Structure 1
Amino acid sequence: MEQEFLLRFLEIGAIDLKGDDTKLEKLRSTAKDLSATLRKSPSKTTSFTMVATDPNVAATDPTIEEAMAFLRKQWETVAYAFSARPVGILRAILLDAIVQAARSDDAIAVAFVNTARNALSHAETSDEAEIWRDAIGEIETKVDARAEIEWATPEMITVDPLQYTPPAPVSTDYEAPTVDQSALRENIFSAAGPWGTNNPNPYQSSQSQHWAPEFANKMSVAIAEVLNEMAEGLAPAPVDLSGPLSTLAKAVTAHVDKALSSFSGATAGLQRRTNLLWWKEALYSPSAHASYLDLPPFEASALMALDLHQQVPTYSPASVSAFLREAIRCLPIEKEEGQYNGERDVASLVYDARTTAFMQPFRTLAAQYAPEPTGRGTLLSLIGHPRDSGAIEATTLRDLCGVDASSKMTPSEWGTYLFRELQSARAISGSPTKRVKKN
């Protein structure tokens, strides 16, 4: 039975409705309405998730405003029921709505899982940790099941038998030729002597020297004409094989194409894994046309996130993020003035991502995926739309992305964070990757 995460917040005391089931039904209806809206506009998944994960989100955030408007439709007096805007209730409603939508839409599921894993690493949700763990676990299991289809390599490839139906035999009315015995008898009788009516033999058998040759001539003609007529009747009718052979050729071609397609699909997962291993060993960036080893570690990790994102499909198992983390750990960590430089604050990382020349390919894709920042959103919005080259204020960074400017990240954490944002953004951006909905 599917969990109702709205009730989970009630169970831990994060929501207090004082046992009023009527109010609970209003919250359920609001969650259902928000879920329907999210299915119509999957691009809202990121902001919905980031707001739901942050207990400290501003009460004036646009997503909070939207959720409050939906709640007012079901509960007109809600503003009078609480001394301040019920952010905790709205967050619970948002999570329930997201999970409902993610259960029926694979793209929303991808965006939710990647965004939630990033956001929760910078949110204070210790009291809600088990709820979020269960929500992410359920949807991530669903995403992994979908990803297995695209990444699997079966032990055996099965091709269906050739589908070809031979044409039905052509039935023709056949009448075997017969000898007209009466006519043949008349011809033989005429050949035997002068008494016949059909070109008679003028000689009688007593005149053997003349009769025999004439008889032979006339008899051979009479019998030959009959046999020739029979032979003409036995001649086979012409058969046109072009149609059946053309149909057979098309069936064989379709069968071969299907077999090759099955082979290609079956080996795609193996080929993808092989390419990723080659990429990890080469440590070469196709987007920057340079070795990751020749770049600063944090720029290299961001570009590794970009390059991996472009090599894998939207529906990828959770282990791909772990693969990226281990690949980034292959990079050498620099030291400056004898100090360990394995971590940097988020503010400086975002600043470099918005200004460094090597990050231009990343900024280009980020601008395609994410709109300009308005309310709670992703780092992609800030990176892809640098209105100026100045540093972003700490309060602005926190309000827009839910991350403290002073938060520290290692290269592997930075790259993994950006990779999840890219995967999430592609899933809901209306990209060529086809989204799959389940009714």
Structure 2
Amino acid sequence: MAKEFLLNFLEVGIIDLSGDDSKLEKLRETTKDISAALRKAATKTSSLTMVAADPTIASTDPTIVEAMEALKKQWQTISNTHRSPPVAILRAILLDAIMQAARADDAIAVAFVNTARNALAHAPVADEADIWRTAINEIETKVDARAEAEWETPEMISVAPLKFGSPSQAPAEYQPPSINRTEMQTKIFSATGPWGGQDQNPYQPNQGQHWGQTFAERMTVVIAEALESMATDLAPVPVDLSKPLSTLASAVSTHVDEALASFSTATAGLQRRTNLLWWKEAMYSPSAHASYQDLPLFEAAALMALDLHEQVPTYSPASVSALLKQTIQALSVGEGGQDASRREFASLVQDAISSTHMETFRSLAAAYAPAPKGRGPLLSLIGNPQDAKAIEPALLRAYAGVDALKAMSASEWGTHLFRELQAARATSLTKRAKKK
């Protein structure tokens, strides 16, 4: 039976329903409503996850307001017991709703895992740590299972047998040729002498040479006509092989295509891993057409996130993020194997929306995420820099869930962006339209 996270919040005392089971049922019905709505609007997964993960989220956040409206439909008198939106209860509802949707929709699962990993690194959820750890482990296991299936390289590649059925032939009715013996006997008799019949031999056997010569001539004609008649009957009937040969050629072509497709599918995971190792060693950015070592460190980290995102599919194992972190650290590593430099979050956002090197990143961010409306992915701010209010240091926490003064290493910055890109692509409207 699937775990119900509403009960976990009750068990640890984060929400209190005073033992009223009827209230719990109202929360459950609200959870079902929000989960169903999320499955129809999967692009909201990141925002719902970020709000659910932050105990300090403002009660005026648009996601909290929407959740409160959904709760009022099931619990019409809630305003009498809670004058302001009960943020803790709504967060519990949101997490449970997201989990229900993620169990049913792999794309939502990808968005939830990547967003939650980012959000929890900056949210004070000490009392809820075990709840979130359980939730993430469940969904991440589900995502990794699908990713591993798509990335694995089997030891053996099996190809189905050639599918070809020989054309059916109607059984031929064969009638062996025969000679009209009565007619032949009459002709032979005529050839032996003047005994009657057509074209008879005018000579008798006792008349000497003329009989024998005439007999031979007439018998030759009789036998030749009989043999020629049989040869005509035995002549082969022309066979049209164009159709069966065409069918065979088509079957062979289809078989070869299927064999190549099986080989390509089976080796896709190996090819991805090979390409990633080449990328890691080359340290070259295809999006910037430059070496990462020639770019500013934190901009290089952001472009690494972009380039890796472009190389791997939506369903990728968690180890891909670890590869990105190691690759970024290889650019600038201090003592102890840690990133040598750190920068404040606000300055990183400012560079992301103004640097010329980040133009490609901004274009993709704008395609993935709309302008910010309350708590949501950082891509909304980067892709829509015209909204100057949202990127003010004092408001970064409200919009992006990260304090403006939070110091981040290059690897933390790049990994954060990569997860956002993966989450956004999983639930983007364009991708899901193609999927349908």
* TM-score band, normalised by shorter chain: over 0.9
Pairwise CA distance, 1:394 = 2.7
Structure 2: how far apart are the matches of 1:197 and 1:121?
Answer: 120
Equivalent residue for 1:387?
Answer: 386
Q: Match for 1:80: what amino acid?
A: N
Equivalent residue for 2:117?
Answer: 117
Structure 1: how far apart are the matches of 2:353 and 2:32?
Answer: 39
Pairwise CA distance, 1:196 = 2.5
Pairwise CA distance, 1:430 = 2.9
Is 1:114–1:424's contact at 8 Å kept on the other side of the alignment?
Answer: yes
Structure 1: how far apart are the matches of 2:46 and 2:434?
Answer: 16
Structure 1: how far apart are the matches of 2:313 and 2:432?
Answer: 8
The one-character-per-residue Cα deviations of 1:8-65 (angstroms, maximum 9, x if unpaired) are 1111111211222211111111111111111111101011111111111111111111
SS in 1 for 2:205: coil
Structure 1: how far apart are the matches of 2:328 and 2:432?
Answer: 27
Pairwise CA distance, 1:392 = 2.9
Report the number of matched residues: 432
SS in 1 for 2:308: helix
Q: How does 1:59-78 map to 2 (within 5 A)?
A: 59-78=59-78
Structure 2: how far apart are the matches of 1:436 and 1:129?
Answer: 35
Equivalent residue for 2:406?
Answer: 407
Equivalent residue for 1:239?
Answer: 239
Structure 2: how far apart are the matches of 1:390 and 1:61?
Answer: 16
Q: Does 1:24 align with 2:27?
A: no
Pairwise CA distance, 1:183 = 0.4
Is 1:5–1:96's contact at 8 Å kept on the other side of the alignment?
Answer: yes
Structure 1: how far apart are the matches of 2:124 and 2:71?
Answer: 25
Equivalent residue for 1:286?
Answer: 286
Q: Does 1:349 align with 2:348?
A: yes
Is 1:106–1:435's contact at 8 Å kept on the other side of the alignment?
Answer: no
Structure 2: how far apart are the matches of 1:209 and 1:241?
Answer: 57
Structure 2: how far apart are the matches of 1:117 and 1:250?
Answer: 51
Pairwise CA distance, 1:424 = 0.5
The one-character-per-residue Cα deviations of 1:201-259 (angstroms, maximum 9, x if unpaired) are 11111222211111111111112111211121122211111111111111111111111
SS in 2 for 1:206: helix
Is 2:390–2:396's contact at 8 Å kept on the other side of the alignment?
Answer: no
Equivalent residue for 1:198?
Answer: 198
Equivalent residue for 1:430?
Answer: 429
Structure 1: how far apart are the matches of 2:399 and 2:346?
Answer: 13
Change (3 A) 1:397 1:389: closer
Q: Match for 2:5: what amino acid?
A: F
Q: Match for 1:74: what amino acid?
A: Q
Structure 1: how far apart are the matches of 2:20 and 2:263?
Answer: 59
Structure 1: how far apart are the matches of 2:192 and 2:258?
Answer: 75
Equivalent residue for 2:372?
Answer: 373
SS in 1 for 2:260: helix
Q: TM-score, normalised by structure 1?
A: 0.95
SS in 1 for 2:239: coil
Structure 1 residues not aligned, in runs of 5+? 335-339
SS in 2 for 1:375: coil
Equivalent residue for 1:45?
Answer: 45
Structure 2: how far apart are the matches of 1:3 and 1:87?
Answer: 22
SS in 1 for 2:293: helix
Is 2:53–2:116's contact at 8 Å kept on the other side of the alignment?
Answer: yes
Structure 2: how far apart are the matches of 1:105 and 1:390?
Answer: 35
Is 1:53–1:91's contact at 8 Å kept on the other side of the alignment?
Answer: yes
Identity of aligned residues (%): 64
Q: Does 1:34 align with 2:34?
A: yes
Equivalent residue for 1:141?
Answer: 141
Pairwise CA distance, 1:341 = 6.3
Pairwise CA distance, 1:435 = 8.0
Is 1:50–1:377's contact at 8 Å kept on the other side of the alignment?
Answer: yes
Equivalent residue for 1:8?
Answer: 8
Structure 2: how far apart are the matches of 1:130 and 1:196?
Answer: 123
The one-character-per-residue Cα deviations of 1:240-295 (angstroms, maximum 9, x if unpaired) are 11111111111111111111111111111111111111111111111111111111
Q: Match for 1:378: what amino acid?
A: P
Q: How does 1:45-194 map to 2 (within 5 A)?
A: 45-194=45-194
Is 2:381–2:387's contact at 8 Å kept on the other side of the alignment?
Answer: no
Q: TM-score, normalised by structure 2?
A: 0.95
Equivalent residue for 1:217?
Answer: 217
Change (3 A) 1:389 1:290: farther
- Choose 361-370 or 75-84, whichever is displaced more: 75-84
Pairwise CA distance, 1:332 = 2.4
Structure 2: how far apart are the matches of 1:101 and 1:110?
Answer: 11
SS in 1 for 2:391: coil
Change (3 A) 1:62 1:389: closer
Change (3 A) 1:30 1:390: closer
Change (3 A) 1:182 1:192: same
Structure 2: how far apart are the matches of 1:210 and 1:352?
Answer: 125
Structure 2: how far apart are the matches of 1:81 and 1:391?
Answer: 33
Q: Match for 2:231: what amino acid?
A: A
Equivalent residue for 1:251?
Answer: 251
Q: What is the CA RMSD across the aligned residues, in angstroms?
A: 1.8
Structure 2: how far apart are the matches of 1:196 and 1:244?
Answer: 57
Structure 2 residues not aligned, in runs of 5+? none
Change (3 A) 1:405 1:130: same
